[in-house]
Structure 1
Amino acid sequence: MDSIWFRDGESPRKPRLSRERIIEAAIALLDAEGVNGFSMRRLAARLGAGTMSLYEYVAAKEDLLDLALDAALAEIEIVTDPDATWRDVLTRQLTHSRKVMLGHPWIPALVGTRPLLGPGALARSEQIFAALDRAGLKGPTLTAAVSAVSGYVHGFVAEELAWRSRFRDPAAEAHLRDQAEQLLRDRASDYPALAKTFRAGEADFDSGFKLGLSIVLDGIETRLSEHPSAPTP
């Protein structure tokens, strides 16, 4: 993959624009139009510049997607409290990750397809890996734990964004939830567990995310207690 992060020494030739200004405009365009609506022509129009002038600062559209994604990920909080436990670090970073992704709804569409090797992304990955390494996870278990928590956050937010884009009217959303519960009551003999336990009207993204993240972290904590190793000082 020919990623911008593998190339050194690239610098804009002309000061009329700036890479920083272009990245800022790229993020604004992605926020407004999403990945499918992003193009160099539209970005140039937003900047009041010629399309070809952008190529004085980046080699390709893919470079801009990488740069915009990394700049957006850099908005995620870095936990600086030296006394924070591994669980505190992950909870705070991942909770803020959801907030940032909701503010930039195009992030989930890119994180699985772009090399997350920019300074913003690497600093956030470093914090999670370091916290779990200090807690005592090692090797494949550490990698799997990071994958589990990141997969939970990205999957949850992607589903949340899809739902929010479909149901913008709270009344329409409440009506659908009522219909879902009624359907399960009507088919209780076919789906007894769902009819007994599922309460669509009680669903709430904020509390659901918090509880789900807690369950994922409980699993990591169980693994640590079952397979203890000396934490890194």
Structure 2
Amino acid sequence: MNPMTPARPRTSPGPRGLSRDAIVEAALDLMEEGGEAGFTLRKLGARVGCDPMSILYHLKSKEGLYRAMAGRLESQLRIAPSSLPWRGRMRHLADQYRSVALRFPKSFWLMQHFVYTGPADYDHMEMVHGALREAGIPARDIPSLCLGWYACITGLAMGEVGGLIGPASKQDLEELAQLPDHSHPLLKGAMPLYQDLAPNSVFALSIEMLLDGIVAQAAQHLPSGANPA
């Protein structure tokens, strides 16, 4: 095996016939039921029929379990068709992250917790590097923009499943209505728009803004008279 190739997760049965995959799947189910506050190795052990030490046999630590769970979520993502232009590939990846967040709202925070989770993660990062290079970003800036891109798209997805992004609540609107007209005219004028805010529109518009920002960044390094990708 090439020493630079990430090792594949161990899936062979361990104590009592447990497999790493079965533990990770059960862990995601448990996280979705009770969130991080209700997640313990003891509860997970009870669910899969073993003691916590048997779980650690496979995952080494709770942090190792969390990383494996994030890797399983990452494996839900699909690589965009290479025939798409760079913006299309980046947009496709962002949409995939949002889809996973909506399917696993209480586990999705794990995808912000780790930079690298395994083979699937490396595949997507390779795509992002290629897209940024195609956009005209200098090689020295690609790692920074790559991590910034991930932080932005996962943050948008977390904002939606966490309740930040969505229509204004009745309480929000009542508080806005009580603000003095002279001090908050723009905000009060936008109240109907906040009331009808659609999360998918917020996500799509924000992604386009990020992509436009990549174009603007690349344009700073173009020869005079050249057009951005």
Query: C-alpha distance in 2, partners of 1:139/1:201?
Result: 43
Q: Would you say 1:227 and 2:221 are equivalent positions?
A: yes
Query: C-alpha distance in 2, partners of 1:164/1:212?
Result: 14
Q: How many residues align?
A: 218
- 8 Å contact from structure 1 (residues 70, 120) kept in 2: yes
Q: CA deviation at 1:69?
A: 0.8
Q: CA deviation at 1:54?
A: 2.0
Opposite residue 25 of structure 2, the aligned amino acid is E
Report the TM-score when normalising by structure 2: 0.81
Q: CA deviation at 1:124?
A: 1.7
Name the counterpart of 2:48.
47
Query: C-alpha distance in 2, partners of 1:75/1:8?
Result: 16
After TM superposition, the structure 1 = structure 2 runs for residues 1-233 of structure 1, keeping only pairs within 5 Å, are 13-14=14-15, 16-79=17-80, 81-163=81-163, 174-184=169-179, 187-198=180-191, 199-228=193-222
Relative to structure 1, the CA distance from residue 156 to residue 65 in structure 2 (aligned partners, 3 Å threshold; closer, same or farther) is: same
Could you tell me which runs of 5 or more consecutive residues in structure 2 were left unpaired when the two chains were aligned. none
Query: C-alpha distance in 1, partners of 2:77/2:42?
Result: 29
Relative to structure 1, the CA distance from residue 42 to residue 16 in structure 2 (aligned partners, 3 Å threshold; closer, same or farther) is: same
Opposite residue 73 of structure 1, the aligned amino acid is E
Deviates more, 1:10-19 or 1:63-72: 10-19
RMSD of equivalent CA atoms? 3.0
Q: CA deviation at 1:44?
A: 1.0
Q: CA deviation at 1:217?
A: 0.7
Q: CA deviation at 1:19?
A: 0.9
Q: CA deviation at 1:77?
A: 1.8
Report the TM-score when normalising by structure 1: 0.79
- 8 Å contact from structure 1 (residues 86, 132) kept in 2: yes
Q: CA deviation at 1:60?
A: 1.6
Opposite residue 126 of structure 1, the aligned amino acid is E
Q: CA deviation at 1:140?
A: 4.2
Query: C-alpha distance in 2, partners of 1:23/1:74?
Result: 13
Relative to structure 1, the CA distance from residue 102 to residue 141 in structure 2 (aligned partners, 3 Å threshold; closer, same or farther) is: same
- 8 Å contact from structure 1 (residues 181, 200) kept in 2: no
- 8 Å contact from structure 1 (residues 12, 57) kept in 2: no
Could you tell me which runs of 5 or more consecutive residues in structure 1 were left unpaired when the two chains were aligned. none
Q: CA deviation at 1:103?
A: 1.6
Percent identity over the alignment? 24
Query: C-alpha distance in 2, partners of 1:115/1:156?
Result: 17
3-state SS in 2 of match to 1:128: helix
Relative to structure 1, the CA distance from residue 139 to residue 107 in structure 2 (aligned partners, 3 Å threshold; closer, same or farther) is: farther
